[in-house]
Amino acid sequence: MTQTILITGASTGIGRAAAQRFMAEGWNVLATMRNPESSDLTGENLSLLRLDVTDADSIHEAVAAGLQHFGRIDALLNNAGYGACGPLEAFTEAQIRRQFETNVFGLLAVTRAVLPQMRAQKSGVVVNISSVGGRMTFPFFSLYHGTKFAVEGITEALAFELATFGAKVKIVEPGAIKTDFAGRSLDFTNDPALAEYQPLIGKVLEVFGQTDRPSSDPSIVADVIWQAVTDGTDRLRYTAGEDARVLMANRSAMDDASFTAGVKARFGI
């Protein structure tokens, strides 16, 4: 029986690459996005559906339409997300809530909409896209790290729950990936009147703006997502990208004080 995956945020970047990978493997793909009318994804085993992870009605309509179209959902890729960057004090309350509504509450809502189907099937794999930033932090990303640390904890705990009926939930942690993430998906917010932060903001922009920083193609993440969905193991975490592998190994080898000292040295704090 042909298997089906539902992907959130499939318009660009990692979600789009995953849609292409699963189609190439012969899966049915429910490629969901906020504006499906502007997508150029094509394929026989593809259904483009509108889904905004912050809009409950759109989630339930997309899941129902997907089930009607392909009959089942074997895998869910919670990929939709973006990064807020800047001093906490510079953000409005609405911006803070939008970051958590998208990256955390949206992921929870889509998962809750798909789980009844997986429970009925007694199988399924959910893959949650976290980040190296779900396990370590850098200055001015307090909101983004907050969401990705939340995704890590949610996933780790949920794995016990889903095992009770034979489903799995896994975490993919990409490093730097060449997508729209650092462009249109970055909510960079600053207030020059917050003078104390400005020297560090300058340094952070300089480090993250370096064009020769190593970064991977989104197809690398799609390969890892494919592995996570299909390897049949209970493995919880998968890094994606060579930089992610090195960063995670270094973080695991260090205690908190050593890691913090390293970040401070890197950013001249």
Ligand X SMILES: NC(=O)c1ccc[n+]([C@@H]2O[C@H](COP(=O)([O-])OP(=O)(O)OC[C@H]3O[C@@H](n4cnc5c(N)ncnc54)[C@H](OP(=O)(O)O)[C@@H]3O)[C@@H](O)[C@H]2O)c1
Provide the minimum distance between the beta carbon of 30 and ligand X in the complex, in angstroms, as a whole number.
13
Nearer to ligand X, 180 or 231 (CB): 180
Q: Which residues, in sequence order, are bridge partners of residue 173?
A: 239
Alpha helices (H) in the chain, listed in sequence order: 13-24, 56-70, 93-100, 106-121, 142-163, 198-208, 218-230, 242-253, 256-267
Catalytic-role residue among 47, 144, 168, 216: 144
Window 69-128: residues binding ligand X (CB under 6 A):
79-83, 102, 106
Provide the minimum distance between the beta carbon of 129 and ligand X in the complex, in angstroms, as a whole number.
4
Nearer to ligand X, 17 or 197 (CB): 17
Asked if 155 interacts with ligand X (CB under 6 A), we say no
Q: What is the DSSP letter of 216?
A: B
Among 3, 4, 8, 155, binds ligand X (CB under 6 A): 8
Q: How far is CA 219 from CA 18, 45, 150, 226, 254, in A?
A: 7, 19, 25, 10, 30
Question: By the 8 A CB rule, do 193 and 135 touch?
Answer: no
For 208-216, which contacts have Cβ atoms below 8 Å and span 24 or more sequence positions?
208/182, 213/176, 214/175, 214/176, 214/242, 214/243, 215/175, 215/176, 215/177, 215/178, 215/241, 215/243, 216/174, 216/175, 216/176, 216/177, 216/178, 216/240, 216/241, 216/242, 216/243
CA-based torsion, 88, 89, 91, 92: positive or negative: positive
Among 3, 15, 19, 247, binds ligand X (CB under 6 A): 15
Among 22, 179, 201, 220, binds ligand X (CB under 6 A): 179
Question: By the 8 A CB rule, do 67 and 73 touch?
Answer: yes
Residue number, nearest CB to ligand X: 13
Asked if 185 interacts with ligand X (CB under 6 A), we say yes
Asked if 48 interacts with ligand X (CB under 6 A), we say no
Provide the minimum distance between the beta carbon of 140 and ligand X in the complex, in angstroms, as a whole number.
16
Active site (annotated) includes residue 238:
no
Provide the minimum distance between the beta carbon of 72 and ligand X in the complex, in angstroms, as a whole number.
22
Active site (annotated) includes residue 130:
yes
Active site (annotated) includes residue 264:
no
Among 7, 31, 176, 225, binds ligand X (CB under 6 A): 176
Provide the minimum distance between the beta carbon of 198 and ligand X in the complex, in angstroms, as a whole number.
25
Among 4, 7, 9, 48, binds ligand X (CB under 6 A): 9
Provide the minimum distance between the beta carbon of 106 and ligand X in the complex, in angstroms, as a whole number.
6
Alpha carbons 114 and 60: distance in angstroms, whole number: 9
Catalytically active residues are 130, 144, 148
Chain residues binding ligand X by CB under 6 A are 8-9, 11-15, 33-35, 52-54, 79-83, 102, 106, 129, 131, 174, 176-177, 179-181, 185
